[in-house]
Amino acid sequence: MIGERLHFFHREKLSKVHRDDLAVLVNFSLMPKPNQSCICVFCGSADGVDPIYAHTAKELGQRIAASGMGLVYGGATMGLMGILADAALAGGAEVIGVMPDVLMDREIAHRGVTHFHVVKTMHERKALMYEHADAFIALPGGYGTLDEFIEIVTWALLKIHQKPCILINMNGYYDGFLAFLDHAMSQGFIKSEARKLIQVTRDVEAALAIAQSHWEAQPIKAPVDAKLDELIGR
């Protein structure tokens, strides 16, 4: 039953309260990480105009499950988020949803996922999703999707992690965004090495192949960031 599968965790009950979000970034974890590889997906809470967006979200969920991987995402039932989660669950995947309590009513929490975490802030949401992920994939979305994906890319730039950051640019949805990044690089604000941190593909199969090849070539290890440790007093 859904009630037996759903677990709500509250940070203030199960985790030490840290003084700032940097501590959350490094230390915050509410449950053991699944044994299988886990893909974190950022995407919109709307379906979008073109049916290809919903189709791709469904395909991604199905392929994650078929590959024996887990999914961590923003925890909603609406839009691409709900389509993605439903497809992964239908295929037998373990699905972890993470949502700030302020969004519980707005985004309609998915009560069919394997594990559901309620956190206090958007910062904690991203930190917990990062904690459980071995790779990050962005589907079409709006401000929230870009915020989450770009912050994860920035953490890669700062060498907080070495996990692949993959953008699925189906139907040219992100063409304008990618053009902006190229412009920023041409104007000296993004270095060419940093630009390469975002790996772009046009379909689900290629995105998962990028993640798989990365894991095979470079087993993921938790990096030690001495400067960050010193900053948070770890």
pLDDT tens profile 10-55: 333 333 323 333 333 333 334 445 567 999 999 999 999 999 999 9
Q: What is the pLDDT of residue 34?
A: 53
pLDDT greater than 80 at residue 221: no
CA distances to 138, 151, 160, 183, 207 from 227, in Å: 29, 19, 11, 31, 32
Q: Which pLDDT band, with edges at 50, 70 and 90, does 1 fall under?
A: very low
3-state secondary structure of 114: coil
Residue pair 12/121 in contact (Cβ under 8 Å)? The answer is no
Q: What is the pTM of this model?
A: 0.80
Instruction: Give the pLDDT confidence of 139-149 residue by residue, as tens digits.
Output: 999 999 999 99
pLDDT at 78 over 70: yes
- Do residues 24 and 123 make contact, with C-beta atoms less than 8 angstroms apart? yes
Q: What is the pLDDT of residues 157-206, one digit of tens each?
A: 999 999 999 999 999 999 999 999 999 999 999 999 999 999 999 999 99
For helices 51-66 and 79-90, give the axis angle rounded to 10 degrees: 30
Q: Which CATH number fits domain 2-26+35-218: 3.40.50.450, 3.40.50.1240, 3.40.1080.10, 3.40.50.2300?
A: 3.40.50.450
Q: Is 9 exposed, middle or buried (0-12, 13-18, 19+ CB in 10 A)?
A: middle
